[in-house]
């Protein structure tokens, strides 16, 4: 074949769809931070990529004192329903439970063996979470190896997540590179995908702390949860901590005001100048009212779809069973390669 022909053959072949893996831990209720930092990003980019969206239920066991079996099972299904309610097409994308696939903990063991202790000791999430519980299980410590397995089993190119997961994605790359170096090429090195605005939504009651599911369970004004009715959304946002001024410019605003401005920006997609023009110099009441309205309008269709999905008996179980089958084909193939390379 002459060069020109090779070129045209190369250009006419459809490019491989990039692969995405991401997930949510089903502890507590999902909040607007999870939606903006992760779920809405997944939905927005779903047609561009081949997507695996996992419910990380094995990760939920890392603080076993908080777990009740019945509640975890219900919570996993709630998360699956919220994926779909947030606009993720369950036919086109693979939605599955982590615990349905033994390949995840199997590969996690292998990866744990190639992960130096020091790498895990540096993880900020371990430091924060281990401070919140009296007896720290080793699962909390080795959690990042399981997360690396989640990602590497699918040979993911991209991992769309909030800013708080950046360290986990970087560590996954390091673990993959170390395995490939020790045993031979097995894993693709993934990259994180983060929103430029909205990758770190802050708590309404304390805008210096990231909005989190655990704080949302303890404090009613901390977060807006995806299933909150409009009156609760209103109460939470209208009581958000701001400051005593009227500065509504992205670069100069205090953390609480900036959080509200960014929420407004990411949910309306309006340019910053326009937003500043509307709210700068006004009391913060008008900004809070506008953010309340856009959050309520964002949640309305999600809540309607959620009600529909959860009222269909058997729907989620069937969906998760078929998701596990589709995910398993890929995961088992990668695991087989890792086993072959390690001699297991
Ligand atoms: P989790 O359940 O804590 O969070 C789920 C997703 O929501 C994002 N997020 C936020 N984004 C913006 N602002 C916030 N305040 C905020 N809080 C949370 C998170 O960054 C995440 O994208 N370890 C993961 C679950 C997991 C996973 C994986 C993720 C397990 N295996 C493999 C990706 C790939 C976790 O606990 O996320």
- Does the Cβ of 33 fall within 6 Å of ligand 1? yes
More confident residue, 24 or 28: 24
Q: Locate tokens 């893996």: which residue?
A: 21
Dihedral sign for Cα atoms in the order 263, 269, 270, 273: positive
* Per-residue pLDDT, 11: 62
- Please state, for a pLDDT cut of 70, what percent of the chain lies above it: 97
The burial of 294, by beta-carbon neighbours within 10 Å (0-12 exposed, 13-18 middle, 19 or more buried), is given as middle
Q: What is the pLDDT of residues 59-95, one digit of tens each?
A: 999 888 888 899 999 999 999 999 999 999 999 999 9
Gap from CA of 23 to ligand 1 centroid (Å): 7
Average pLDDT, integer, range 257-273: 97
* Per-residue pLDDT, 1: 37
Contact 190, 180 (CB under 8 A): no
Q: What is the pLDDT of residues 109-156, one digit of tens each?
A: 999 999 999 999 999 988 888 877 778 889 999 999 999 999 999 999
Question: What average pLDDT is seen over the chain?
Answer: 94
Contact 55, 76 (CB under 8 A): yes
Q: What is the pLDDT of residues 175-203, one digit of tens each?
A: 999 999 999 999 999 999 999 999 999 99
Average pLDDT, integer, range 242-251: 93
- Please state, for a pLDDT cut of 90, what percent of the chain lies above it: 86
User: Which of 88, 165, 215, 262 gets mutated to test ligand 1 (max ligand atoms within 8 A of its CB)?
Assistant: 165
Least confident of 57-66, 69-78, 220-229, 234-243: 57-66
Assigned token pair, 173: 């790359």
**Atom 14 of ligand 1, nearest CA residue:** 33
Domain boundaries, the chain: 19-195+313-342, 213-310
R_g of the chain computed on alpha carbons: 22
CA distance 161 to 110: 24
CATH 3.40.50.970 at 19-195+313-342, yes or no: no
Are both 19-195+313-342 and 213-310 of the same fold? Answer: no
- Does the Cβ of 201 fall within 6 Å of ligand 1? yes
Task: Give yes or no for residue 326 having a pLDDT over 70.
Answer: yes
Average pLDDT, integer, range 216-240: 96
Catalytic residues: 129, 210, 213
Contact 161, 37 (CB under 8 A): yes
* Per-residue pLDDT, 7: 44
Task: Give yes or no for residue 2 having a pLDDT over 50.
Answer: no
Task: Give yes or no for residue 26 having a pLDDT over 90.
Answer: yes
Contacts of residue 311, defined as CB under 8 A and 6 or more positions apart, other chains included, come to: none
- Closest CA relative to residue 322, chosen from 56, 59, 92: 92
* Per-residue pLDDT, 5: 41
**Atom 37 of ligand 1, nearest CA residue:** 24
213-310 maps to which CATH number?
1.10.240.10
The DSSP secondary structure of 272-314, one letter per residue, reads HHHHHHHHTTS-HHHHHHHHHHHHHHHHHHHHHHHHHHHHSTT
- Does the Cβ of 227 fall within 6 Å of ligand 1? no
Gap from CA of 211 to ligand 1 centroid (Å): 11
* Per-residue pLDDT, 8: 44
E strands present in 80-139: 94-97
- The SS3 of residue 160 is strand
The total number of residues shown for the chain amounts to 344
């Amino acid at each position: 074949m002459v060069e020109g022909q090779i070129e045209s053959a190369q250009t006419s072949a459809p490019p491989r769809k990039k692969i995405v893996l991401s997930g949510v831990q089903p502890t507590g209720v999902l909040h607007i931070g999870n939606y903006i930092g992760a779920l809405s990003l997944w939905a927005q980019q779903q047609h561009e990529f081949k997507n695996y969206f996992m419910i990380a239920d094995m990760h939920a066991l890392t603080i076993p004192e908080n777990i009740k079996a019945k509640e975890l099972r219900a919570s996993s299904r709630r998360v699956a329903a919220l994926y779909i309610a947030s606009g993720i097409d369950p036919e086109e994308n693979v939605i599955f439970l982590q615990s349905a696939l033994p390949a995840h903990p199997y590969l996690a063991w292998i990866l744990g063996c190639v992960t130096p202790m020091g790498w895990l000791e540096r993880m900020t999430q371990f430091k924060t979470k281990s401070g919140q519980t009296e007896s720290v299980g080793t699962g909390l410590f080795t959690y990042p190896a399981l997360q690396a397995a989640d990602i590497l089993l699918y040979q993911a190119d991209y991992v769309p997540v909030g800013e708080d997961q950046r360290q986990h994605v970087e560590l996954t790359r390091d673990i993959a590179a170390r395995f490939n170096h020790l045993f031979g090429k097995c894993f693709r090195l993934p990259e994180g995908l983060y929103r430029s605005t909205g990758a770190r939504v802050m708590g309404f009651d304390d805008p210096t702390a990231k909005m989190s599911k655990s704080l949302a369970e303890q404090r009613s004004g901390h977060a807006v949860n995806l299933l909150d009715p409009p009156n609760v959304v209103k109460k939470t946002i209208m009581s958000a901590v701001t400051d005593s001024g009227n500065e509504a410019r992205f670069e100069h605003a205090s953390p609480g005001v900036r959080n509200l401005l960014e929420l407004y920006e990411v949910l309306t997609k309006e340019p910053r100048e326009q937003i500043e023009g509307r709210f700068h110099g006004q009391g913060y009441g008008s900004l809070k009212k506008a953010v309340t309205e856009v959050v309520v309008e964002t949640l309305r269709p999600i809540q309607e779809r959620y009600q529909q999905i959860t009222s269909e008996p058997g729907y989620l179980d069937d969906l998760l069973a078929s998701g596990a089958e589709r995910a398993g084909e890929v995961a088992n193939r990668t695991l087989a390669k890792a086993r072959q390379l390690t001699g297991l």
